[in-house]
Amino acid sequence: MNIWTYPSPWGAVTIQSREKEIVHVYLPGRKIPQGLTIFEDDVLKEAGRQLHDYLNHRRQKFNLPLAPEGSDFMLSVWKLLQDIPYGDMTTYKEIAEALNRPKAFRAVGMANARNPLAIFIPCHRVIGSDGSLTGFGGGLSMKKGLLALEKEGVSKQKLGTWQNTEQTN
């Protein structure tokens, strides 16, 4: 497995790949396992480029080979997270309802907390039913920052100053 670290306004974001897939994102302050090879392979280069574009208002969606590992329930939650539009937010309760499990909002919260691909699978877009910001692996200041970044990106898009460099593969 390879890792490479990219700068963000909140600190280093380390991305891990296995073969040709992204398997983990370590947000600032998170411990990186020992024994990983520091090497920027092609998939890590692309992930870094897309992360850079996202952080600079030039990308709203990621187009990467993601390979999160988790239970079937977690995978279903993470799939729904990828459908939350850039600049929007939803609640744990709304995700539970979308899964036809309206009482499973706490389990949705746990799946969110265990999301191994934060940012690429945008768990930062999920808030409490009362509108409060809840936990995030990179800390609440990073969550606030990512939401503000997206809000600014939406504003730029409305003003016609959006610089979309997204590519479809």
Catalytic positions are: 123
Question: What is the token pair recorded at 73?
Answer: 């329930």
Contact 61, 88 (CB under 8 A): no
CA distance 4 to 16: 7
Measured CA to CA, the distance from residue 92 to residue 102 in angstroms comes to 10
Question: For the chain, where are the alpha helices, taking DSSP H only?
Answer: 42-55, 72-81, 92-98, 105-113, 140-159
Please choose, from the candidates 168, 156, 160, 154, the residue with its C-alpha nearest in 3D space to the C-alpha of residue 89.
Answer: 154
